[in-house]
Structure 1
């Protein structure tokens, strides 16, 4: 059976990506990161999703991105914005996807996996530079140049099945695959119980996606 490493944050998008990979016949190995993020409830969500969706193995990798800061998600002195920001917002975590994909690449090589799945999106998203198709293409090229398996001809692909989908379309796809979105946490500043703020970019995109899909939003909110 073909194998895939899935970056599973515990959010709506990554849960949908996991379901898609399973539908495509991959044996799924999921990876989450405890990187000092403000929204740590997502780690509990990713563990619940991995168990509920029957993955082969789930890993949590510890890496402290608070050491460099530079983001509202890794520096407690920077507030999460309550209004949409023009340009690249302060919730962008410097080099996060590059770090995560690189570690996933290492595990994929050990597993002799065929693909890494990541839930980046270039439609309903906050404008992060490491969610763009050209970034993913560049990383895939690097991955096959930088690994023993790549040099020996076992090409790895970086799969981004959500990259051109609206949040509405992502939710509709996930529902069709049986994803339980009540297990997911998307909020940038969810409390310890996983309740969302309802105001950050991630919450706004999520709420609007459920509204457009005509599906009841299962998200617990703080107020």
Structure 2
């Protein structure tokens, strides 16, 4: 069976990507990151999702990106702002070079387990202004990975980065996920790690809007 590494945060996008990889016949190896983020709620979800989905192996990489901060998600001195669907600037929840770092780890993991496919749930349609969610960046990372791995350079086994939601709205993604049988009650989207999602941050607003537009009930309860 062909193998794939799926970046699994425990959020809506990565969980849908995991189920899509399974539907496409891949044996899934999932990778999550404890990178010094504000809370570990998503990591708990990722563990449960991986178990329910029956992935071959689920690993958590520890890396202390909070050592330099620079984001509301890794620096306690920066508050998570209320959501703004009309925001045009890069939000303070952007974590500098996060997807670059994550994809580098995923490529290393893929090379070891013999996977030639890596799935990541990014979109440049509903991407909150994050520059590392664009197709241009994904293609550049794929090229760099295939110039710097033995499997690609010496063995002819190039690694393909799949970003299946790149040009899909989150509404379309949820519609697909429902067809794939994704249980979205297992996912966590909020930037905050309280008992209930806040319902006010950018991530919550995007999720709430997408479920409404898709015509499905969001299984999560919100503070507001």
Deviation at 1:124, TM superposition (A): 1.4
Note the 1:14-53 alignment, pairs <5 A.
14-53=14-53
Q: Which residue of 2 aligns with 1:215?
A: 216
Asked if 1:163 corresponds to 2:162, the answer is no
Q: Which residue of 2 aligns with 1:147?
A: 149
Deviation at 1:112, TM superposition (A): 1.3
Note the 1:107-118 alignment, pairs <5 A.
107-118=109-120
When the two chains are superposed, the root-mean-square deviation of aligned CA atoms in Å is: 0.9
Unmatched tracts of structure 2, length 5 or more: none
- TM, length-normalised to structure 2: 0.96
Q: Which residue of 1 aligns with 2:73?
A: 73
Quick check: 1:83–1:200 contact (8 Å CA) kept in 2?
A: yes
**1:140-184: CA deviations, max 9, x gaps?**
001111000010210110000111111110000000000000000
Quick check: 1:9–1:43 contact (8 Å CA) kept in 2?
A: yes
Deviation at 1:86, TM superposition (A): 2.5
The aligned length equals 221
CA distance in 2, matches of 1:148, 1:114: 12
Unmatched tracts of structure 1, length 5 or more: none
Cα gap change, 1:221/1:190 in structure 2, threshold over 3 Å: closer, same or farther?
A: farther
> Which deviates more from structure 2 when the two are superposed, residues 169-178 or residues 76-85?
76-85
Q: Which residue of 1 aligns with 2:58?
A: 58
Quick check: 1:39–1:187 contact (8 Å CA) kept in 2?
A: no
Deviation at 1:40, TM superposition (A): 1.5
Deviation at 1:63, TM superposition (A): 0.5
